[in-house]
Structure 1
Amino acid sequence: MFDVLPLVVSAPTGPPEIFIIPEDKILRVPLSHPKFEWFKDLKMEWFGLPSVTSMMLDIGGIQFPCAPFNGWYTSPEIGTRNLCDVQRYNLNQFFGEKFGLDTRSPTTLWKDKVALELNIAVLHSFKERGVVIVDQHTVAETFMQFYHNEHRQRGGCPADWVWIVPPISGALTPVFHQEMSVYYLKPSYDYQPEGWVSFQKQNKMLSGEMDQHERFNPVQKFKKIIFAVVFASTLYSAALARRVRIAVLYATETGKAEVFANALTNVLSLNFNPEVICMADYDVSKLSDENLVVVIASTTGSGEPPQNGQEFTKKLFYLREKDIDNSEHNRNAKQDMIITNGEADQKKPSSETVGSYNKMNAKRTSFLIKANGGENEDPDDQGRINKWKLSKPADKIPYVVFALGSRDYENFCAFGKYIHHLLFTSGGNPLLDLTFGDEATNQQEAFNNWTSQLLKVCCDKFQVKNTTSGITSTEKIIRKDQVKFEAHHNPPTLSKTLSKVHGKYVSSCSVLENQTLYENGEKWYQKIIINTNEEKTLQYQPGDHVGVVPANNQSTVSEIISRLDNCPDPDIPVQVYLKLETDDCWFPHPMLSVASIRHLLSRILDIVAVPSPTILRLLANSSSNNIHRSRLNELASNRNEYSHWKKENQFTLLDVLLEFPSVRIDAALLLSRLPLLQPRLYSISSSSDISPNQLCLTVASVSYRTKGGKGTLRKGICTSYLKSLKPGDTIEIFHRSAPGYHLPEDNLAPLILLGSGSGVAPFRGFWQQLQHNSKAGIHEVVLYYGCQTRACDLYNEEKTSLCNSRILMRTHLALSRDPVVPKTYVQDLFVNHAKELYEKLVWRKGHIYVCGSEGLATGIYLKLLAIIQDQAKANSDEAHSIIRQMK
């Protein structure tokens, strides 16, 4: 990463020659930071002597093409330009996460903080090494003194403002507000053509191969090219300004929605003026000014919105609620955070409520209701609302939504449905039906079809001629001659590879403890303690999540490799290259880094998910048996048959290869089309104040049988992986903040905790934090917990001890399958204390947290609604209004 380049000596009279600089002649400066000890462990360095050797010295009428010179570095040249520039090392994101900064939005100024800390590190390191370096303020003041002297003695001084003003602290230096003129004097250092280019031209001229066109004056040719470029750019800018603007908004957790948004923009840009914007960076008040709003929204976990879509949704909901208060919308639209049932295939969303849309976790649902009585409303939001109302009516805002998700989950495309629901109930006008991209049934094809429909509708609406043929993507890779492996050396580390694949800073940590809390047959609970190695990016608060990147079963991986065709050594690092039919150029696979085939199948690609119709079609084309080929093609082309086959069998990739043994698919082709192995989110069940540099997970087994409970036993890939870990093993994880699920700032507000099974996980983090904060005041905390039998009452001893020390005021246990007591569920206990709950939540402005099975949040919401109706003597609309105020 930090190799010193050799010297290349070139001249018109010969080919270039390379001279390696001896190591003992290189002055290296290891980079460290005066405050962050981990900085030096990155093994970063820079060389101490900046030199320029490629410029020509023009002096006394003679041009010296080889006249090297050197000086000393300014700190921004290394800390800002070399390390942070996107065209250079581009380490902004990396250091942003290492410094523990919020990199989701530029409004946090995280890039500025990174640049400042890196400049501090560079200045500190050069000083420690005894190498001369100068900061931007000192060099700017020195230049201004020189500048004034030149003006006084010679009447002027040529200077290029772009080069003089430093890339950091520009406005804080005296050169920023200085007017400068660019003109050229002699002697001077000037750029010159590369020697090897002149050498090639001279050889062609001597051999008679250079034609008249190539003999043309290069200066004149360059001027004409520049003029043509400027002229074309002017015409394009003018044409672009006249085009219809389209706002393409996306919200994503894995990066898939962003990829689709960029692909859509490439198609629309030939006819319109589209702009891709992350929801987190979009000002909701501008909705009324848009010609068309396109939303591409993914759903994460079990119906949860991506992190970069949550704030947009809250503000849109706020606008909608204010509008509803003055309109006659359907009363169901008043329910806070609801999602619609069914597929919403019509433009008008269904009004049937299936549950409250709140904080949902992977394989469990959790939501938070905060009783703030509307006191925390942002006054700026009111101004934005008024602006919206003063602009054009909401029903004039056309929009379309493409929702990403998987039918393998109960809350299919929940976030996309909810965004569609919000826009529609706000009075928006959908130009297309809500469209779904099912990850399990050819999501890319659904996107391509939707793109074509959207393009046609846009052209018709805005009366623009359609000049676009369609979308181009890696989905066009359908033959083995369009994909290949190339061997590579020095692959990146696993954490770097996973960070690139998932768009998050993934850390490699070690397992300290893996304890079985309960086990009976296929049902078990584990407590896993992980050493975070003082990683800044893993600093968490109780209520946050950790993403775990699982590993596929090694025997399954080996079995798949044995059935691949044209498979090189599976343990040699390779890069997957692709080539489209319309292009002869090979390009690296956009999602797959350099890694061995075994590594790709083990940690990067999903081999457990049911193969999509696209994969089945590729397998059919690779079969040598007509019966096998016919059956695979039938599954790939018949949606109903595929859905039945998938639901009945839940076949993995290996199952399909075993079922159709004649299939021998090309290794590169298969790996290029397999989906990515997605991380799983788990609630953190510890407090960093109680256990510094550690985090704890409470994990429940996931297993089921196919064919309605009579078929093959299937086990969760991530839970099985976690169960198999031993102390000392490495685990790849990342932190995901859940700011809406943190403990309240009010130390005396009552807390109601409701959970079942491993849903106790975040609550354990809560009570540990409350134990640590007990001197500052104690909440009234009541825990309602449900499990099957007393034997699987997790952390029972901890809860008893905390009750004795009054950290927990009271605990209630619901047992659903205990042979001694009647069947009871958490919501039953919830109802038994209706009066107490109503007082704590409504009158004392308490907080309720729910974490458990997917149906628990819905059940609790409905029970809470009934309690409020009963205790407040309110009707349904009034009860909904009270809950909205609580939130």
Structure 2
Amino acid sequence: MFCDCSEKGKRTPYNGLKISSLKNEKHLLGLNNCEEEKRDDNLRPESEHLRNTRYSVFGLGSRAYPNFCAFAHSLDTILHALSAERLLKMGEGDELCGQKESFKIWAQDIFKAACGAFCVGDEMTIRDAVGAFSQTDLTWSPGKFRLTPSEEISPDICEGLSKLHGKSVFSCRLIESKQLQSLESSRQTLLVRLDTQGASELLYTPGDHLAVFPENSPFLVDKILACLHNAPPVDQDVKIEMQSERTTPLGNIKTWEKFPRFPICTLRTALCRYLDITTPPTQSFLKILATQATKASEREALENLANDIKEYQDWRHDKCPNLLEVMEEFSSLMISAALILTQLPLLQQRYYSISSSPSVYPGEIHATVALVKHRTQGGTGPLHEGVGSSWLSRIAPGTIVPCFVRTYVCYFCLKM
């Protein structure tokens, strides 16, 4: 298997890779998310061809950037030129257009192609195995998810974020959020001072970054909550359950199981702290929304956006709509709380350069944050604010700020 990383400064396993080392491989699977540069310098043709090698490539990228999946296409071309047998046309996953769904379809197809090429399993076994993809699929379908009241105690926000993101999140307290420029200035910058409360995990060195988990705008959250269909009380602790089906000697049995994505929380907490409600929806999410529109004209418009990449990109670039604006534009939508909680992406941490010295300010972390504000539709649309910067500007001293320190990894450092 090949794997590449588009994050600059990271080492990749391609360095020093030689084509001749692949001749004993029977099946190659290529996964890549780097479209900024072509990485074929280490994959130059050699005298030995890959006549006995069979492969398939799936590329990950974003059409927002040039050279979409460039490395994956280059790798696919080189392997084919070296006489390797392509089992399946190269798959592509677009970050802006339901890459998980694209990968799921490709994975099913390559599994069937590989089983046929290597004469593994009979038709029934292959069909059952491919069916496992849909059984573990977490995408939306009516009646597949539900919210039920929970008697369990919901975790505090840092514990909940730690479980949700699979990393340790710690609490700082805001000491001060100070404007560094006059209110008349066209740009606003904050000096944010945080008390680490003595946490050794929040010690830092030059070059490290502070990762902050912000909170969505309460105004935006309240408006969305008011638009949800048949939602439970917004401040009641709930759990998400997913219907699963298993085969027994007595036949297929459907049961409700706890959905592993979320900790126990209220609907308000989920929208405030856990879910991304400001990023424009993907085409795959719009496809789901189309099934919830009660007006035929709006359903058709959503389907067009979900299927026409050019129309979608124009709409996204012009309006850059958040979830509330989508719900207002397509007012016939009957969106359930279960759909929102299971299909929206997670609210990600924001990274800020640390602008303090641990020797001068022990027990503190300072960050200099630019306030992000802009109007969509060429300056005539609604005002959009950065989630992280706007939250840090409005919270009061003493507020808990969930965060962690991302250590800078230096592969080439001069020692004094």
Q: Provide the residue aligned with 1:224 in structure 2.
A: none
2:106 corresponds to 1:450: yes
Q: Provide the residue aligned with 1:698 in structure 2.
A: 368
2:168 corresponds to 1:498: no
- 1:627, distance to aligned residue in structure 2 (A): 2.3
- 1:662, distance to aligned residue in structure 2 (A): 2.0
Q: Provide the residue aligned with 1:286 in structure 2.
A: none
Q: Provide the residue aligned with 1:590 in structure 2.
A: 260
2:309 corresponds to 1:639: yes
Amino acid at match of 2:114: C
CA contact (8 A) 2:147 2:238 kept: no
Q: Provide the residue aligned with 1:540 in structure 2.
A: 204
> 2: CA distance between counterparts of 1:553 and 1:724?
10
2:2 corresponds to 1:304: no
- 1:452, distance to aligned residue in structure 2 (A): 2.2
Structure 1 residues 330-729: aligned runs within 5 Å: 340=35, 400-404=56-60, 406-407=62-63, 410=65, 431=86, 435-465=91-121, 467=126, 468-470=129-131, 471-472=133-134, 473-480=136-143, 482-518=145-181, 523-580=187-244, 584-729=254-399
After superposition, the C-alpha distances for 1:279-328 in whole angstroms (9 at most, x for unaligned) are xxxxxxxxxxxxxx254x6x6xxx526x9xx34x1x532x14xx69xxxx
CA contact (8 A) 1:480 1:666 kept: no
> 1: CA distance between counterparts of 2:95 and 2:337?
22
> 2: CA distance between counterparts of 1:740 and 1:430?
40
> 2: CA distance between counterparts of 1:402 and 1:591?
26
Structure with higher helix content: 1
CA contact (8 A) 2:76 2:90 kept: no
Aligned residue for 1:579, secondary structure, equals strand
- 1:737, distance to aligned residue in structure 2 (A): 1.4
After superposition, the C-alpha distances for 1:556-607 in whole angstroms (9 at most, x for unaligned) are 1111111111211111111111114676121222211100000000010111
Go from structure 1 to structure 2 and tell me whether the alpha carbon gap of 1:672 and 1:446 turns closer, same or farther (over 3 Å shift): same
Aligned residue for 2:181, secondary structure, equals strand
* Larger displacement relative to structure 2 (437-446 or 479-488): 479-488
After superposition, the C-alpha distances for 1:77-108 in whole angstroms (9 at most, x for unaligned) are xxxxxxxxxxxxxxxxxxxxxxxxxxxxxxxx
Go from structure 1 to structure 2 and tell me whether the alpha carbon gap of 1:733 and 1:412 turns closer, same or farther (over 3 Å shift): farther
> 2: CA distance between counterparts of 1:460 and 1:715?
52
How well do the aligned residues superpose, as a CA RMSD in angstroms? Answer: 3.5
How many correspondences in the alignment? 381
> 2: CA distance between counterparts of 1:406 and 1:671?
25
> 2: CA distance between counterparts of 1:430 and 1:726?
62
CA contact (8 A) 2:111 2:130 kept: no
> 2: CA distance between counterparts of 1:703 and 1:461?
55
Structure 1 residues 255-274: aligned runs within 5 Å: none
2:415 corresponds to 1:746: yes
Gaps of 5+ in 1: 1-292, 325-337, 343-348, 354-384, 386-391, 748-887
CA contact (8 A) 2:175 2:398 kept: yes
2:14 corresponds to 1:316: yes
Aligned residue for 2:152, secondary structure, equals coil
Amino acid at match of 1:490: I
Amino acid at match of 1:516: Q
After superposition, the C-alpha distances for 1:844-884 in whole angstroms (9 at most, x for unaligned) are xxxxxxxxxxxxxxxxxxxxxxxxxxxxxxxxxxxxxxxxx
Structure 1 residues 715-864: aligned runs within 5 Å: 715-740=385-410, 744-747=413-416
- 1:480, distance to aligned residue in structure 2 (A): 3.8
Amino acid at match of 1:556: L
Go from structure 1 to structure 2 and tell me whether the alpha carbon gap of 1:437 and 1:500 turns closer, same or farther (over 3 Å shift): farther
CA contact (8 A) 1:608 1:652 kept: yes
> 1: CA distance between counterparts of 2:67 and 2:256?
36
Amino acid at match of 1:507: F
- 1:403, distance to aligned residue in structure 2 (A): 4.5
- 1:434, distance to aligned residue in structure 2 (A): 5.5
Amino acid at match of 2:210: V
CA contact (8 A) 2:155 2:264 kept: yes
Aligned residue for 1:562, secondary structure, equals helix
CA contact (8 A) 1:483 1:672 kept: no
CA contact (8 A) 2:245 2:255 kept: no
> 2: CA distance between counterparts of 1:425 and 1:709?
46
Go from structure 1 to structure 2 and tell me whether the alpha carbon gap of 1:417 and 1:545 turns closer, same or farther (over 3 Å shift): farther
CA contact (8 A) 2:146 2:338 kept: yes
> 2: CA distance between counterparts of 1:412 and 1:508?
40
Amino acid at match of 2:7: E
> 2: CA distance between counterparts of 1:714 and 1:461?
52
Amino acid at match of 1:495: C
CA contact (8 A) 1:510 1:731 kept: yes
- 1:745, distance to aligned residue in structure 2 (A): 4.4
- 1:538, distance to aligned residue in structure 2 (A): 1.6
Max radius of gyration: which structure? 1
Go from structure 1 to structure 2 and tell me whether the alpha carbon gap of 1:641 and 1:730 turns closer, same or farther (over 3 Å shift): same
> 2: CA distance between counterparts of 1:493 and 1:732?
10
- 1:449, distance to aligned residue in structure 2 (A): 1.6
Gaps of 5+ in 2: 20-32, 43-47, 247-252
- 1:425, distance to aligned residue in structure 2 (A): 7.5
TM-score (norm 1): 0.39
CA contact (8 A) 2:197 2:363 kept: yes
Aligned residue for 1:571, secondary structure, equals coil
CA contact (8 A) 1:605 1:676 kept: yes
Q: Calculate percent identity across the aligned residue pairs.
A: 30
> 2: CA distance between counterparts of 1:395 and 1:518?
66
After superposition, the C-alpha distances for 1:595-621 in whole angstroms (9 at most, x for unaligned) are 000000001011111122333233333
Go from structure 1 to structure 2 and tell me whether the alpha carbon gap of 1:459 and 1:489 turns closer, same or farther (over 3 Å shift): closer
- 1:652, distance to aligned residue in structure 2 (A): 1.0
Go from structure 1 to structure 2 and tell me whether the alpha carbon gap of 1:400 and 1:469 turns closer, same or farther (over 3 Å shift): closer
Go from structure 1 to structure 2 and tell me whether the alpha carbon gap of 1:680 and 1:530 turns closer, same or farther (over 3 Å shift): same
Amino acid at match of 1:722: L
> 2: CA distance between counterparts of 1:633 and 1:556?
25
- 1:731, distance to aligned residue in structure 2 (A): 0.7
- 1:629, distance to aligned residue in structure 2 (A): 2.4
Aligned residue for 2:405, secondary structure, equals strand
After superposition, the C-alpha distances for 1:775-816 in whole angstroms (9 at most, x for unaligned) are xxxxxxxxxxxxxxxxxxxxxxxxxxxxxxxxxxxxxxxxxx
After superposition, the C-alpha distances for 1:750-770 in whole angstroms (9 at most, x for unaligned) are xxxxxxxxxxxxxxxxxxxxx
TM-score (norm 2): 0.79
